[in-house]
Structure 1
């Protein structure tokens, strides 16, 4: 680090960074709880496809400020890196899932799904009589009843942060430096910083295209959020009427084309932020995702139906046939997904061996290391033991708790590779399936009383693990790992060392915990639990403990069920990894299998062919030069424009919560 960069991290810089982080953590918490169209999607800090929209929004605002106040370009790259690291990890916590859904779940268990009430210790949530007043609103917060649960969950969240960041430190050199994985959102952050600090003369064309992309995508969403805020304004896009629907506004569902393609599931996202993101992915990933989507959801299901493979008298709809009989969920979530954790780990065993030897020898951290390997492994072991203690002190059995922690590790390893290759952070719906073998004999009966009779040995580990890793719930650990790796990619692109980055991440997580939890409790006591838009998850998440809910997820242990599909998916990913090791020219990428196969709720597969065509045309017309000098700035600007839309949409949503139209 140069003397100039060393002096950049002054006490004044740290104080300003912490204050700004606290303010934006508060904003993100409010927005994710009150956002229209579901806090699930439009949280500033996280999103169903795992985008660090809050941190990138700040970089977008910084770009706009530098156009007005050119003196801001004097801010050092080191300061931007450290602040980004702090705010990204912070907003991974202060978003939709954490802290809202943890506390929602506790309230739901105490007041709604009372079968599990006796399993939940009082240091998770106060008794039912202390929780019920939250339904009324207009009351002061009962801090006395919640202080112990607040301490427990805060300690649990911070321990998981340390656990995730220790894995980041161990894997970062291989993923960021040796393999040079693209980390698309790290690239978006880096390009935004570069355009912000450059003068018009230095990168005139790139800055112009970046600005055009930003403005166009922002304007694209204006009619929608105007209609949300002022319903009298016509919904010119028609996103609330068929054939539109789904998680993504602008997702058009064509289903089976009116029966022309029996059992097909065709949906296209009219979402430029998805196209812009995918445009930055490699051609082999886009090609594989396109082929997987076409085969899984468009081509093979009608063929199987016409051949009678789905049986006689089955409706020619996707839901009645494909998900239950074709089982793409089992292939993707039980097969593809764990392979992204295990196969790269086996392939890179020599690297892991080097890190262990470096830890034993006590080698110091290098400029591209978050910390020394010895410190990383010490933190990994200590935090892992602490997590086990949290499980067991809450009532979980030793074996079931170990199984849950092992699943967290597998999740983080999969997240790291998916994030690095494609920017993805979507967990496996098959979590329930792989977590079931220890109590499958209970769940197979569908008898709630048998599951309840298992006591906390069943409910505590499965609830903690499910809420920590499954589905979209990466704010607890996966998001901090992903955003941490994004920050290290940013450091690599900006040619900065990592001094100050780890403390910034720890501070960011701590600030988010301190700021967000009181906001959640204040909202429920003051506004009233039923009147906070995100309160419905107080029923949804604890309901996943019920055997009927658990059994609805694909499991490799069902009689005559998903085992072969899981094995096929795992084997296919393994085969593609090995072929790419053997043949540099091999055109298919294993990550593309997951990107194209995880639909239909996440229309990532259908977005791949659009991005593939755009990228192919770019290279066909102007080659690499056209892509790097014009395509990338336009795509990066388009995504930043989406984050600016979220800012305006969030303001309108919060306002309309308190001032209805």
Structure 2
């Protein structure tokens, strides 16, 4: 006679979920506008490491739970809190909508935001006018829901192949998952993992503290040269200006722009499959070096070899004809290539 095993289903801690969501949203709203470059690129609680969008808040929360074992012993509770943190921080943008696209205002429909005249009155304590805010609120609410439905539909299409069959790792999620499992499972293997994680946290803190202190307090020495050196991009810590570092090569190679020494970016690549890394390197060399070089000899990118600022070179190749590489990164062409090539 077989024994019937009883499975205890943990209930969702709605009170904890609600309070955590409110608290983190308030913190995000208050803290984000106060960050200045390069704080939000590395030391913000939201998307750090620039385009890698590595979110530090969930990792900090998970590590904090290790010291709150008696208060929050449940794995389910840990995952719920981590998910809330992840969601709140993803909803925090590094930039306000289109604020870095000066000159596009005349093309933006009125429902992007309340009118400038009304906002001037608000800044001086003017009245709340619902008709000014309603189109703005409705548009962004519908937009957010639409984005969610889009990604949810994509997940439903590819989930079985990517997750169940291929078991493709997602670097950002893999880090959090490994940290959660190492804190929850009490095995010798996980104990060793915890030691390495703690060591990594200590080394990471020690590495970034000098640059953080220099960012907050300019009188503190710029040990790495990330903030005040002519060779580095000041608003993106660890980003080396290749044209300035190698002026001889910059006078003949169009695609020579920037290289980031940020350890976070390097560490994340260790979670990617080797074939993915190989594809990334090949297509990077193709779209950022080989094709732009051919285009230069065909009459495009006039004067680019005289530009010694790496981020400006990147902007030229990304924004202008003939390839407009930013389209591949920003407007879904790269996503389409990935989908239709599978």
Please say whether Structure 1 and Structure 2 have the same fold, judged by a TM-score greater than 0.5.
Answer: yes
Counterparts of 2:140 and 2:314 in 1: how far apart (Å)? Answer: 43
Contact 1:46 1:52 in 2 (8 A): yes
Contact 1:195 1:206 in 2 (8 A): yes
Normalized per residue, the structure richer in helix is 1
Give the corresponding residue for 1:71.
Answer: 70
Give the corresponding residue for 1:234.
Answer: 221
Cα 1:90/1:126, change in 2 over 3 Å = same
- Superposed, 1:491-640 pairs within 5 Å as 574=341
SS class of match (1:9): coil
Give the corresponding residue for 2:15.
Answer: 15
Instruction: Report deviation, 1:37.
Output: 0.7
- Superposed, 1:424-439 pairs within 5 Å as none
Instruction: Report deviation, 1:331.
Output: 9.4
Instruction: Report deviation, 1:152.
Output: 1.3
Cα 1:179/1:202, change in 2 over 3 Å = closer
Give the corresponding residue for 1:215.
Answer: 202
- Say if 2:142 is the partner of 1:156: yes
- Say if 2:120 is the partner of 1:132: yes
Counterparts of 1:195 and 1:333 in 2: how far apart (Å)? Answer: 37
SS class of match (1:316): helix
Give the corresponding residue for 1:426.
Answer: none
Contact 2:226 2:238 in 1 (8 A): yes
Counterparts of 1:321 and 1:152 in 2: how far apart (Å)? Answer: 34
Counterparts of 1:183 and 1:21 in 2: how far apart (Å)? Answer: 24
Q: How well do the aligned residues superpose, as a CA RMSD in angstroms?
A: 4.1
SS class of match (2:328): helix
- Give the total of aligned pairs: 324
SS class of match (2:41): coil
Q: Deviations over 1:617-660 (max 9, x none)?
A: xxxxxxxxxxxxxxxxxxxxxxxxxxxxxxxxxxxxxxxxxxxx
Give the corresponding residue for 2:258.
Answer: 267
Cα 1:263/1:219, change in 2 over 3 Å = same
Contact 2:295 2:301 in 1 (8 A): no
Cα 1:156/1:313, change in 2 over 3 Å = closer
Alignment partner for residue 328 of structure 2, among 323, 333, 343? 333
Counterparts of 1:150 and 1:334 in 2: how far apart (Å)? Answer: 27
SS class of match (2:97): helix
SS class of match (1:260): helix
Counterparts of 2:236 and 2:281 in 1: how far apart (Å)? Answer: 19
Instruction: Report deviation, 1:16.
Output: 0.7
Instruction: Report deviation, 1:18.
Output: 1.5
Give the corresponding residue for 1:250.
Answer: 238
Instruction: Report deviation, 1:144.
Output: 4.7
Counterparts of 1:235 and 1:184 in 2: how far apart (Å)? Answer: 31
Counterparts of 2:224 and 2:279 in 1: how far apart (Å)? Answer: 31
Contact 2:243 2:249 in 1 (8 A): no
TM-score for both structures, normalised by structure 2: 0.75
Counterparts of 2:323 and 2:284 in 1: how far apart (Å)? Answer: 10
Counterparts of 1:330 and 1:21 in 2: how far apart (Å)? Answer: 37
Give the corresponding residue for 1:51.
Answer: 53
Counterparts of 2:333 and 2:121 in 1: how far apart (Å)? Answer: 43
Counterparts of 2:36 and 2:323 in 1: how far apart (Å)? Answer: 31
SS class of match (2:210): helix
Q: Deviations over 1:173-197 (max 9, x none)?
A: 3322133221112211110101222
SS class of match (1:236): coil
Q: Deviations over 1:377-404 (max 9, x none)?
A: xxxxxxxxxxxxxxxxxxxxxxxxxxxx
- Say if 2:102 is the partner of 1:101: no
Give the corresponding residue for 1:174.
Answer: 161
Cα 1:237/1:335, change in 2 over 3 Å = closer
SS class of match (1:268): strand
Counterparts of 1:158 and 1:19 in 2: how far apart (Å)? Answer: 22
Counterparts of 1:81 and 1:52 in 2: how far apart (Å)? Answer: 18
Counterparts of 2:97 and 2:279 in 1: how far apart (Å)? Answer: 35
Instruction: Report deviation, 1:288.
Output: 3.2
Alignment partner for residue 81 of structure 1, among 73, 79, 82? 79
Counterparts of 1:336 and 1:140 in 2: how far apart (Å)? Answer: 38
- Say if 2:315 is the partner of 1:316: no
Contact 2:257 2:314 in 1 (8 A): no
Give the corresponding residue for 2:28.
Answer: 28
Instruction: Report deviation, 1:201.
Output: 4.5
Instruction: Report deviation, 1:243.
Output: 0.8
Counterparts of 1:202 and 1:285 in 2: how far apart (Å)? Answer: 28
Contact 2:213 2:220 in 1 (8 A): yes
Cα 1:278/1:317, change in 2 over 3 Å = farther
Instruction: Report deviation, 1:75.
Output: 0.9
Contact 2:38 2:234 in 1 (8 A): no
Counterparts of 1:128 and 1:37 in 2: how far apart (Å)? Answer: 26
Contact 1:263 1:321 in 2 (8 A): no
Contact 2:21 2:85 in 1 (8 A): yes
Cα 1:5/1:81, change in 2 over 3 Å = farther
- Say if 2:179 is the partner of 1:192: yes
SS class of match (2:47): coil
- Superposed, 1:358-377 pairs within 5 Å as none
Cα 1:239/1:134, change in 2 over 3 Å = farther
